[in-house]
Structure 1
Amino acid sequence: MAEIAAKEEQSARRYSDRERFIAFSFCWAEAIIELDSDRTITFAGGILPLLTGKDPRTLKGMTILDIIADEDRPLAEQMLDAITRAGRFDNIHLRFKGAQGNSQPLVTCGYRNPELENRYFLAFHIAGGLTSDKSLKKTGKEGLYDADSFGKMASKMLAEGVDGAGKMTLLEVDGLTEAQEEMDDAQRENLMGAVGSVLKMSSVNGDAAAKLGDGKYGVVHGDGLDVDAMKARITSLIQNIAPEAEGINVGAATIDTGDAAGLTEENLTKGVIHALNEFSKSKGGAMSLEALSGSMDDLVKDAMETAETFNRVVKKSDFRMAMHPIIGINDGVIHHYEALARFQGKHGESPYKYITFAEETGLIGAFDLSVVDKVMVWLDENKDSPMFASVAVNISGNSIVDKRYIDGLQDRLKANPWTQGKLIFELTESSRVEDLETANEFIQNLRGMGYPVCLDDFGAGAASFQYLSAIDVDVVKIDGPVVKNAEAIERGRAFLTALASFCRELKVDTIAEMVDTPETVSFCHACGIDFVQGFLFGPPKFDLTEYGDFREKLAASTAPGAKATGALTSSHATPSAPEPAAS
């Protein structure tokens, strides 16, 4: 009897302890799951009905992967493997598969106790803070953040000193793009999912990883990460999934933020973005990665130097405007020019580096205003030239939400009403525009004042059509690669014809970019495109008279404008009578 009573007392105590520990776990977690050594669910509690659409009691006997979102299963498997090796793992972001789709990410922590039959104990907490930011976007099969989102997230984590976030490693997998071309769809998808899982598992919270370009990745992590082991694991994954792949080499550059504790979030952001820009445009190899390795303090200093150089150029207006013509396929007349900044910067470097940096760090608004000033001066100085035409000025997608830019532009246009009919605005980097309603309000204000608006990079992705449905513009410029691809593939003509017809229905003119041959002009004419722009007519120039022979360059095409005579630009041409409607 005493033995029975002791067992009952022990069982009661265990039961009491179990209830007590469950209660403690809910102080942090919204859901808990216990797995046996085969990773089958033996106990589940908390808000799992809301997350999975299932009663916790029905989960018993299922495997944990049965209720994890399909995209997160590789990550969950790697987390369980890590718990098996190390005994515990913290701060991995997983989603459950529910009746209405995947749940929001939950911070997941796990523990395995050999004394309790090697069972796994998992706790799930609804993620808050950085990775719940809805403005952060993921891309591709890897389930990783895109470059813009990673820049924002990484700089914020590093500036706020998120626990364990002390380093940023950039990785480049040489040969990956070529290897993927030889894989079938299943191999490619498995590989990308596995690579993404390794990177997320290596990051500080299981989610601070990004795809920065083809074969290029970024991870925010702590001091404990063995970067060489991570590289070896990625190499091993590629060899296992695609054994025929050759020439694969994983390189890495680690940037230490430990000595940057006194830097502001703004300056850290500039440093992170500077590093990401340098990495994304590098052509690969050990030397480019080696140049990025080091301290965040050095990168911030380099970024601040870039910002100072850019601000100095803007303040002194130390740049010139080159012009590139947009030519009518049907009338053979220069409709307008696109104004493009040309300045040396330090050591004779291209302005592209500075403009990209300015767009990423919020400095572009001041430059866009300086360009407007330059173009207004140009319009006044060249108004009597026989090659004179109106000019399109680029506006970054970032500038249209910059109050200083908006107010500055309004002041300039109100003070110079003579620019109406001579000035066009072209919205670039439109993919950065998130508030389409505000963007449309800004654009309609410009159009109401008599300034046409062009939407750049049109056709590059489904988002372009979303923009055109939400924003009323006068012209769209079809992205050069879209034109090239349409010309190269069998069904390309049908696609570009449909796109041109769609715009025509909306009474929106179309411009094709990257038109470098008479054959491309003929292709665009057959598809119903209105205007062309490209190096067929030469690069951007300072001397407009150098474009005087553009009709001769049209002569080898089918463009009706090749046979045009008279004035070369729309500003000097006599408007022709409208063609009679087809009967």
Structure 2
Amino acid sequence: MLSGEARMGAKDMRAERDRFVAFAFSAADLMLEVSGDGLITFASGAARLIAGCEAEGLVGQKFAELIDDGDRHFLMNLLGGLAVGGRIEPVTVRLLQADGTAGAICILGGCCLPRQDGRYYITLSNARLPLAETALANKRDYQTGLLAAEDFETLAGDRLKLARELGSEVKLTLIEIVGLKELVDSLPPDESESLMGDVGALIRAKSISGDTAGLIDTEKYGILHANSIDQEAVAAQVRELIKQSGVPAAEDAAKGVGVRGATLDLHQKAMSDEDAASAMAFAVDRFASEGAAAFALHSTEESLKALLQKTVSRVRALRSAVSGRKFDLVFQPIVRLDTRTLHHYEALSRFEDGGSPFETIRLAEGVHMIGEFDLAVVHRVVELLSERRRQGEILDVAVNLSGHSLESSVFMAALREILADDPGLRKQLIFEITESTQITNLVHAANAVRQLRDDGHSVCLDDFGAGAASFPYLQALEVDYVKIDGAYVKALQSAGQMRDQAILKGMVWLCKELGIGTVAEMVETEDQARLLLDFGIDYGQGYLFGYPEPVPQMEPLRLDDKPGNHRKPGDVKLKR
């Protein structure tokens, strides 16, 4: 028989046990004990809600079989790297139901305690947070399990904003693994699959909640992570993975597979949430397009801070220019090559700080402000067209639209709203689709182009032939005109001109077969103009016909010159 003191001791122990159980269930829906060899040895909690079966039915199962294929490699790598006494920060995973179908989205945590024979103690909670659901609904790379670039930017931006609101310090690390693709291609399929899975699992494990890591581009990766994560340690771990494949891995790519990284501190107090998100988006965009060269990945922390501060300063200046319309427009004529008569003008942007328009547009695309800027330019041009019409004159003007803008349904709705009160101006407003950034959703873009043409606008595909995407664009987008990249015009009279001429003639023939008008840009000499006309190109643009000017330098059509209040191409003669 127990003494009174022993009974009190046992009662206290039960109370302590019950208290810990209560704490555990307040933080989790299901608790699992998993042996070192991966078998579930204990389960308690809302197993039917989480796993689709009773808790007793989980005992004896392999823990890995509870996890969805897309998260299994990542999670087992995470557990495999967990040291005794270590803890898994909460990560988002999807489970499998007993019948193999997709199960609940869960927040998973865990630890490996001392003196427990290597067992893992894992908690699972049903994720009811929109961010968690969004994270697993996003597009992922099938080899690494990492987010696709666009989804990474979006989700990382949301997590960055939340972290800053909570006062958490987060950083963006960009890692380039030079030569990884060549290595993977040289390995047997099972080894290459395993290596890419390990690389993805390692990078994902360093991110916030396991879901703010992305594949930015081939061999380029991004991680939004806690302040405690060290970029050099991550790079060293990647190098170790590469070495396990039997290939040298070093900072210098010339000595093997090169692993390089840069980290940007996004918690600087001088930055607003909006500035921080813009800086991150711009950094990711530059890293994708230019790689290590854009960030001087071996530079010091101070130079990286300077880069970030410069980016924030440029973003603020751009935001001010867009919101206050602190930019100018100049107009360059586009003429018929056969008659030298005006067809239309192109509106080109110039900025008060004298900065490169191309770099400014790239910045706007990188920080997702290009839609606002495109709309601001359209507003200015529509105001000009309306004013000239009130004066009894008709102008046709082309405005550049970024491929990013074209893919946005919100942008398209706002664009159509601008002309809702004066639909008659639509025939005077031409849109040139630029190729400074690649269009990722050609179906959306094709629908947008079709909508613009149905509204009465003409559409031109700019810089044709400059990028690998030009011909897919031409196949997908039903446009009225194609503007051939100026590099082909410049090469007309240079060494090796026969090859360039053959390519140019081929592009012109293709456009004529499709019933598409052709425009040549950067025309500066009469010899160039004559050759282009001989090749069958319809229109020309360049210094030969007119410099960009604040006020159009060709006399527009008067409303009383032609019936129908709108001219036909070629009706207006060039001022001499």
TM-score, length of structure 2 as denominator length: 0.69
Equivalent residue number for residue 283 of structure 2: 275
Equivalent residue number for residue 65 of structure 2: 66
Written as runs of structure 1 = structure 2, the 5 A alignment for 1:24-173 is 24-98=23-97, 99=99, 101-127=101-127, 128=129, 130-133=131-134, 137-140=138-141, 141-161=143-163, 162=166, 165-173=169-177
Q: CA deviation at 1:269?
A: 1.5
Q: CA deviation at 1:53?
A: 4.1
1:424 paired with 2:430, answer yes
Cα 1:380–1:479 change in 2 (3 A) is farther
Distance 2:327 2:305 in 1: 31
Cα pair 1:135 1:149 within 8 Å, conserved: no
Higher alpha-carbon deviation: 66-75 or 50-59: 50-59
Distance 2:472 2:121 in 1: 52
Written as runs of structure 1 = structure 2, the 5 A alignment for 1:101-500 is 101-127=101-127, 128=129, 130-133=131-134, 137-140=138-141, 141-161=143-163, 162=166, 165-241=169-245, 243=247, 247-260=256-269, 263-285=271-293, 288-290=296-298, 293-294=301-302, 299-300=308-309, 302-309=311-318, 311-312=320-321, 315-321=325-331, 339=346, 341=348, 343=350, 349=356, 351-357=358-364, 360-362=367-369, 364-371=371-378, 373-374=380-381, 391=398, 393-394=400-401, 396-397=405-406, 401-402=410-411, 405-406=414-415, 409-410=418-419, 413-414=422-423, 417=424, 419-425=425-431, 444=451, 449-452=455-458, 481-482=468-469
Distance 1:288 1:304 in 2: 19
Distance 1:179 1:43 in 2: 42
Distance 1:196 1:266 in 2: 29
Cα 1:421–1:129 change in 2 (3 A) is closer
Distance 1:375 1:293 in 2: 47
Counterpart of 1:252, as a letter, is G
1:530 paired with 2:499, answer no
Counterpart of 1:42, as a letter, is T
Q: CA deviation at 1:115?
A: 3.3
Question: Secondary structure at the residue paired with 1:103?
Answer: strand
Cα 1:393–1:87 change in 2 (3 A) is closer
Q: CA deviation at 1:121?
A: 1.0
Cα pair 1:74 1:193 within 8 Å, conserved: yes
Q: CA deviation at 1:91?
A: 1.3
Question: Secondary structure at the residue paired with 2:144?
Answer: coil
Distance 1:186 1:570 in 2: 63
Distance 2:280 2:367 in 1: 10
Distance 1:523 1:351 in 2: 25
Cα pair 1:166 1:220 within 8 Å, conserved: yes
Counterpart of 2:290, as a letter, is S
Higher alpha-carbon deviation: 228-237 or 265-274: 265-274
Equivalent residue number for residue 560 of structure 1: none
Q: CA deviation at 1:67?
A: 1.9
Counterpart of 1:530, as a letter, is L
Higher alpha-carbon deviation: 300-309 or 370-379: 370-379
Distance 1:48 1:526 in 2: 63
Equivalent residue number for residue 561 of structure 1: none
Higher alpha-carbon deviation: 84-93 or 315-324: 315-324
Q: Deviations over 1:21-59 (max 9, x none)?
A: 444322121222111232211122444445444444333
Counterpart of 1:78, as a letter, is N
Q: CA RMSD in A?
A: 5.2
Identity of aligned residues (%): 22
Question: Secondary structure at the residue paired with 2:262?
Answer: strand
Distance 2:346 2:331 in 1: 6
Q: Deviations over 1:199-244 (max 9, x none)?
A: 1111232222122222222212223223222111111212323638
Distance 1:528 1:187 in 2: 50
Q: CA deviation at 1:198?
A: 0.8
Q: Deviations over 1:381-438 (max 9, x none)?
A: 9xxxxxx987464262377525995487226845xx3x4434333567796889979x
Q: Please list every run of 5 or more consecutive structure 2 residues that lacks an aligned counterpart in the other structure.
A: 250-254, 389-394, 489-499, 538-566, 572-576
Q: CA deviation at 1:62?
A: 2.1
Cα pair 1:397 1:433 within 8 Å, conserved: no
Counterpart of 1:109, as a letter, is G
Distance 1:319 1:242 in 2: 58
Cα pair 2:479 2:516 within 8 Å, conserved: no
Distance 2:246 2:330 in 1: 51
Cα 1:427–1:539 change in 2 (3 A) is closer
Distance 2:336 2:186 in 1: 40
Question: Secondary structure at the residue paired with 2:26?
Answer: coil
Question: Secondary structure at the residue paired with 2:325?
Answer: helix
Q: CA deviation at 1:284?
A: 2.0
Q: CA deviation at 1:181?
A: 4.1
Cα 1:144–1:547 change in 2 (3 A) is farther
Distance 1:485 1:420 in 2: 27
Distance 1:280 1:394 in 2: 21
Cα pair 2:427 2:456 within 8 Å, conserved: yes
Higher alpha-carbon deviation: 112-121 or 44-53: 44-53
Q: CA deviation at 1:122?
A: 0.2
Question: Secondary structure at the residue paired with 1:139?
Answer: coil
Distance 1:348 1:480 in 2: 24
Equivalent residue number for residue 571 of structure 1: 569
Cα 1:185–1:166 change in 2 (3 A) is same
Distance 2:529 2:319 in 1: 31
Distance 2:296 2:511 in 1: 43
Distance 1:340 1:183 in 2: 52
Written as runs of structure 1 = structure 2, the 5 A alignment for 1:504-523 is 508=478, 518-519=502-503, 522=506
Cα 1:362–1:129 change in 2 (3 A) is same
Question: Secondary structure at the residue paired with 1:266?
Answer: helix
Q: CA deviation at 1:61?
A: 1.8
Cα pair 1:479 1:513 within 8 Å, conserved: no
Counterpart of 1:320, as a letter, is V
Cα pair 2:40 2:63 within 8 Å, conserved: yes
Q: CA deviation at 1:177?
A: 3.5
Distance 2:71 2:360 in 1: 37
Q: CA deviation at 1:530?
A: 0.9
Q: CA deviation at 1:195?
A: 1.3
Equivalent residue number for residue 553 of structure 1: 535
Q: CA deviation at 1:250?
A: 1.4
Higher alpha-carbon deviation: 174-183 or 33-42: 174-183
Q: CA deviation at 1:274?
A: 2.9
Q: CA deviation at 1:197?
A: 1.0
Cα 1:389–1:255 change in 2 (3 A) is closer
Distance 2:257 2:528 in 1: 48
Cα pair 1:136 1:145 within 8 Å, conserved: no
Cα pair 1:83 1:112 within 8 Å, conserved: yes
Q: How many residues align?
A: 503
Q: CA deviation at 1:520?
A: 6.9
Cα pair 1:74 1:194 within 8 Å, conserved: yes
Distance 2:155 2:368 in 1: 14
Cα pair 1:273 1:357 within 8 Å, conserved: no
